[in-house]
A and B are shown apart, each in its own frame.
Chain A
C-alpha cells in the first residue's frame, strides 16, 4: 500500500553564550568533569535561578533569523520529572508563553545531480523556546557516573510543524537550519559535541488520506546520517506493520546507530506527567519592540537570499554559489574580496576552487579541511591577484604560480610578482624582434595564415612565448604578429 509520510522535528540547539542560562558559571565543551559547576548548577538547597540576558538575545536573534514572531512577553515554567542528570529534578523551560512564535525555514531539496539546483520549499515552525540542558550521564560497567558541566547550558528548542514528508526533506531542513544558525552566529551546531540534537516525530497515513496516523517519537538522533537512517527505518517499520493490518503504538523510540535499528523506550501510557506550572523564581521577560526592530535590522542576509543574489546580480553559476553560500565565513570572505576589487567570477573561482583545495590539502591527515578562518590569505590577496590578471600584469597561467606562492608565504601577490619577475613583458620591442625572427623562421605557417588559416598564427606564437618565458602579453603578441605579416603584404 502507498502511504503519505508526515514528519515533525524538535531540535535542541546549545546557544553559544559564555555563561549558563540561569547562573554565571561558565561553559565550554571538553572541560574536565564537574569543573564548570556552582551552587545553582548543582541545585544546592536555597539556590535560585537568574536569567542570562545574553541567552535571551541569542534566542531572539535565532527566532528573527528563522522568521519567527518575537513574543511581547515570555514566561518561565517548570517541567517536573526525575532523572539523575537533572540537578533540580525539574527543568526550567517555556511551556505556555515561549519567546519565539511561528517561523519558516526555506529548504532546498536535492536536484537531479549535484551540479543542478534542486526545488525550494518552505517548512513552517511552530515555536522556539528557551530552556536549560541537563548534565551528562556516562554508563560504565556496573554503574552510571554524572558530569554536571553541561547542566544549565542555554538550549533553544526549535519545534517544526509536521511539514516534512521524507528523510531527504528532514535532512534538507537540518542543513538549511544549521546554515541559518551559523549565519546568526548563535551556535556552532556541532552534532558530535551535542551542540545540536534532533528528535523526529514520524507517522504514516494512506496516500491522499486527510486523517493523520499514529505517530512515534524517535530520540537520540545525534548526526545528520542518523536522522536520515532513523526516519527511513521508522517509515519502513510502520509501513510493514500497516501492510500487515497491525496498528501503530504511540510511543517514544530510541535509535541505535550501531545496529541501525530502533527500540521502544516507553509507550504513551507510561508517558510523563510533567506537572508544568509557572516558575515562581523568575519574572516574565517583556521584549522591547525597539530592541527587536534593531536586532531585525541587524540580521545578516539569509544564505538562500545570498545565493539568489550571487546568481542573479553577479552571474555566478550554481556550482559556485552552492559552495560559497552555505558557509557564512566563506561568503563573507568572498564579499570582502569583492569590495577590494569587483571581479566576481574570477574571485569566486579562486575561492571555490583553488583556495578550498589548498585548505583541504593543508589539513592534517584524516582531519577535516581547514576553515576559512584558519586561512593564511586575506580577501585582499585574492582580490589583488584577480586584479593583476585582469589588468594584464600576469597571465592566468602565472596566476596559478602566484596563488601557490602566496598561500605558502602569505605575501601579497604584487610583491611575489615583483620579486620573482613574473610580470608579463610589456617590452614590445623585444617581442617585435622575436616575432620577426619567428616569421622569418616559419614561412609555411605564414603562408597558411595568409591563406586564411587563423590558427596557423599559434605556430608563430609558441617560440616567442618560449623565448620570453611566458611573459609576453598574449594580446600584444597576437597584434604584433598580425601587423608584421600584413605589412609584409
Chain B
C-alpha cells in the first residue's frame, strides 16, 4: 500500500469507515508530509495545522456518534486560495487582498463542510487565476513535484502540486480556461471541470464570470466523481447555477457505464504546435480506446483555432470589471500614498496588482472602451457562438471527445514569463471547452522520456458528467499511470 497521504479518497474512506483509521491520524499524516516537502514544493500560501486537527477531531466524534456524513467524512481537502472559507485568509495570491479574511463560506465550501471534509490550507495559484504556470503568485513560487525546476501549470498549480506531493488527499481548483486540467496534466493527477452552472460560483472570486467553474482535483477518476457529487447543485445565491434534471450517482455509474463509445478526435488538435512526445502519447491512448471496441470518429471543430483571441477578449473584459472592486476602500490593500479619491484607486491598485493582472485588466478595459466594444467584445461573443455550435455538431456524432490537455509537458520556470502570448497559446486545447460551457477532465496518460506527466483530456456533453467519468475511468483502470508517484 502507498503511504496514507498518497492514497485515494475511496481507499481512505473505507479505512475510516472500518475503524482502522481516524481522521486525526490521517490529517496528522498529511500535516507531517506537508512539513517534510513543503519547503521544496511550496504549494500552500497558508495553512493552519491546529484548525485542520480541530476539524478532524470533530469528524471522528461524528463518526463515533454514528453520524458520519459520507465518503468525504474526515478527508483532508486542500482549497485553492480563490474560494471563500469563513475565518480563513482569502487572497487569490494577490497583494491587494493581503490581510483579508473571509467572513463567509463559498457555497461549494459549505457543501464540502456538510459532507464532513476537513478543509486544509490555502493553495497557491496564479494571482486571481490569471496564468498557466503559478508563477504569477505574489506569495510563493510552486514547484512541480516531478521536477522542481519546472512549473506545476496553472492557475491551480498549488492544488495540483500539493496533490502530487501528498500534501492533501484531494484538492479543489477552479478552471476558467484550463486552470484545473492543465496543472492536473502537468502534475500527473486527475482534474475535472464541470459543465458551466453545475457547481455554484458563489464565493469563487470571479475572474471571468461566464467561464469560471470550480472542480475537483484528485488521484483517480472515482475520487473526482465522489467530490463532484458533493459539490454540485443549484444555488439560490448563484443565478447562473443550473439544476441537473436527474443527478446520477457518478461513483456507481462508473462501474455500469462500460462502453464501447463513439469517441471524437478533432483533427485540428493534433496538427501543429504540439510536442511530438505528447502527440505520440495521445495517439496511443486513442488506439487503446479503439482496441477496446470504441469507434474513433475523425471530427472537425473549425472555429476552435479562434478560441485564444475569443477567450482573451471575453475573459479580460469580464475580469477588468470583476476586479474593479479591489480598490482599497472597504478591504484589502490601501496605498500609504493615497491622498485623494483618484490616487486612492490608482496607487492602491498599481501597488496591489501584479504584472499579469495589470496586463489583463488593461487589455479588458481597452476592448470594452468607447468605440471598440463592437469590434472586440461583441464580435468575440458571436464567434463564441460558432465555437459552441462546433461542439454541438460534433456531439451529434460522438459521446465524448479526446485530445491532449496541454500541447507540451511542464516547462521550466521563467521560460515563458516574458512572453504572455506564448503563455496564452499553451491553453489552446482547454479554453474552447470553457467557451462552450462543457465538462472536461484531464487524466494521467503516461510520462515523457524525461519523466514528466502527460494528460489526456476527455470532453463531454453538457451535463454529461456520468459518461465523461466512465470514459476516463475505463482508461485509468486499464493502466497504472495514476499509481505513479513523483519522487521528491
Contacts and interface: CB of A to CB of B under 8 A. Distances in A.
Q: Do chains A and B touch in the complex (CB under 8 A)?
A: yes
Interface of A: 39, 42-51, 78, 80, 82-84, 87-90, 144, 146, 148, 273, 275-277, 280-283
Given A280-B209, A281-B209, 19 more contacts: A42-B331, A43-B330, A44-B102, A45-B102, A46-B83, A46-B106, A46-B205, A48-B206, A78-B321, A82-B324, A83-B341, A84-B327, A84-B329, A87-B330, A89-B325, A148-B330, A273-B370, A275-B370, A280-B240
B377 A277 contact: yes
A249 to B, nearest CB: 20
B100 interface: yes
A342 to B, nearest CB: 51
Given A42-B330, A87-B330, A90-B324, A280 B368 contact: no
B84 A45 contact: yes
Q: Is the interface of B mostly helix, strand, loop or mixed?
A: loop
Q: Is the interface of A mostly helix, strand, loop or mixed?
A: loop
B209 A44 contact: no
Contacts of A80: 320-321, 324, 368
A46 B203 contact: yes
Contacts of B100: 45
A217 B325 CA distance: 28
A51 B202 CA distance: 14
A283 B210 CA distance: 11
Contacts of A42: 330-331
B369 A50 contact: no
Given A39-B103, A281-B240, A45 B321 contact: no
Contact of A39 (B104, B209, B326, B365): B104
B370 A84 contact: no
Contacts of B201: 48
A46 B200 CA distance: 11
Contacts of B90: 45-46
7 tightest Cβ-Cβ pairs between the two chains A and B:
A89-B324, A275-B368, A280-B209, A280-B210, A46-B203, A45-B205, A43-B325
27 contacts: A39-B104, A43-B325, A44-B102, A45-B84, A45-B100, A45-B102, A45-B326, A46-B83, A46-B203, A46-B205, A47-B203, A48-B238, A48-B239, A51-B239, A78-B321, A83-B341, A84-B341, A87-B330, A88-B324, A89-B325, A146-B329, A275-B320, A275-B368, A275-B370, A276-B368, A281-B239, A281-B240
B237 A44 contact: no
Contacts of B239: 48-51, 281-283
A42 B324 CA distance: 13
Interface in B312-344: 317-318, 320-321, 324-327, 329-331, 341, 344
A144 B317 CA distance: 31
B2 to A, nearest CB: 35
A277 B321 contact: yes
A46 B209 contact: no
Nearest to B96: A45
B368 A48 contact: no
A148 B331 CA distance: 13
B198 interface: no
Contact of A47 (B202, B210, B331): B202
Interface string B86-116: 0000101000010010111010000000000
B324 A48 contact: no
A44 B103 contact: yes
B379 to A, nearest CB: 13
B424 interface: no
Nearest to B212: A280
Contact of A48 (B83, B202, B317): B202
Given A82-B345, A275-B365, A48 B237 contact: yes
Interface string B367-410: 01110010001000000000000000000000000000000000
Contacts of A144: 341
